[in-house]
């Protein structure tokens, strides 16, 4: 019980730092955004709720939740002067940020499960755990990119601007890579009618594999940048 209490305290403390004491607002905004879009879709006579559309509805709150902590995390450390403490303990900053990223990803995944349950209740029944698993890859990929660019730019607003530009580029060029393993927002429930199911399964597998590799490389690049103490203090 003592260890569980300590872990709970650690998670709560890091959530306060990660979300700058605004976690509840981000949670309410993400859930509220999903409910608003879902209700609008339900009252649209031309809309037909499917797992495919639910996937796209759920990805937006996930991106909203992961955007702030990944883009503004380093800036919050600098402003609160906790960055000096982290650099004062050899290799400790890596462990702290790995723990924080783990907490961010874990919390976002749990909220995706909650949103999946809401979708099943009010929008369309979905395989909650399976869909949340698939959503993890593009959402966590953007989170890892945000962390990496925050160590390069060292400004939350600057990182946010870069991530918005990257998001727009990916959205604009999505038609070029539509249905391929290179499409960042590949929807596994948007199954092409003329494609062999086995080939579609391979496409999804390699897409998730490449996104996972991208996540690992972006996180490692961000941690490597944290070695340059003089850039942050």
Over the stretch 133-151, which tens digit does the pLDDT of each residue have? Answer: 999 999 999 999 998 998 8
Q: What token pair was written down for 175?
A: 């038609």
Query: Residue 20's pLDDT is what?
Result: 66
Per the model's pLDDT, the better-predicted residue between 221 and 95 turns out to be: 221
Q: For the chain, give the percent of residues with pLDDT over 70.
A: 79
- 37 contacts 57 by C-beta, under 8 angstroms: yes
User: How far apart are the C-alpha atoms of 145 and 162, rounded to whole Å?
Assistant: 10
Is 206 strand, coil or helix?
helix
Which has the closest alpha carbon to 166: 133, 189, 143? 143
Confidence of residue 80 (pLDDT cuts 50, 70, 90): low
Q: Provide the domain limits for residue 80.
A: 2-231
Nearest to 188 by CA among 146, 137, 115: 137
- The more confident residue out of 43 and 165 is 165
For residue 214, what are its two tokens? 């991208």
Q: What pLDDT sits at residue 86? A: 59
Output 156 or 63, whichever has higher pLDDT.
Answer: 63
Q: Are 31 and 114 in contact (CB under 8 A)?
A: yes
Q: What percent of the chain has pLDDT over 90?
A: 24
Is the alpha carbon torsion for 127, 7, 87, 73 positive or negative? positive
With beta carbons less than 8 A apart as the criterion, state whether 110 and 90 touch.
no
> What's the pLDDT at 100?
81
Number of structural domains the chain divides into: 1
Q: Say whether pLDDT at 10 is over 80.
A: no
What pLDDT does 214 receive?
Answer: 95
CA angle 127, 164, 57 (to 5 degrees): 20
Cα(210)–Cα(39) distance, integer angstroms: 34
């Amino acid at each position: 019980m003592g260890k569980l209490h300590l872990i709970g305290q650690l998670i709560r403390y890091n959530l306060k730092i990660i979300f700058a004491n605004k976690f509840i607002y981000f949670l309410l905004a993400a859930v509220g955004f999903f409910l608003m879009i879902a209700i609008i879709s339900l009252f649209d006579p031309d809309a037909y709720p499917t797992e495919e559309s639910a996937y796209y509805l759920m990805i937006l709150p996930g991106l909203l939740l992961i955007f702030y902590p990944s883009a503004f995390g380093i800036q919050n450390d600098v402003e609160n002067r906790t960055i000096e403490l982290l650099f004062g303990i050899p290799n400790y900053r890596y462990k702290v940020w790995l723990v924080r990223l783990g907490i961010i990803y874990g919390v976002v995944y749990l909220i995706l499960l909650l949103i999946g349950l809401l979708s099943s209740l009010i929008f369309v029944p979905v395989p909650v755990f399976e869909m949340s698993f698939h959503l993890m890859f593009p959402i966590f990929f953007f989170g890892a990119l945000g962390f990496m660019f925050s160590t390069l730019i060292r400004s939350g607003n600057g990182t946010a601007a870069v991530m918005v530009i990257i998001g727009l580029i990916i959205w604009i060029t999505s038609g070029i890579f539509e249905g391929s393993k290179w499409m960042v927002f590949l929807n596994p429930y948007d199954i092409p009618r003329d494609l062999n199911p086995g080939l579609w399964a391979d496409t999804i597998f390699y897409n998730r594999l490449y996104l996972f590799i991208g996540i690992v490389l972006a996180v490692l690049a961000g941690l490597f940048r944290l070695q340059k103490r003089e850039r942050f203090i």
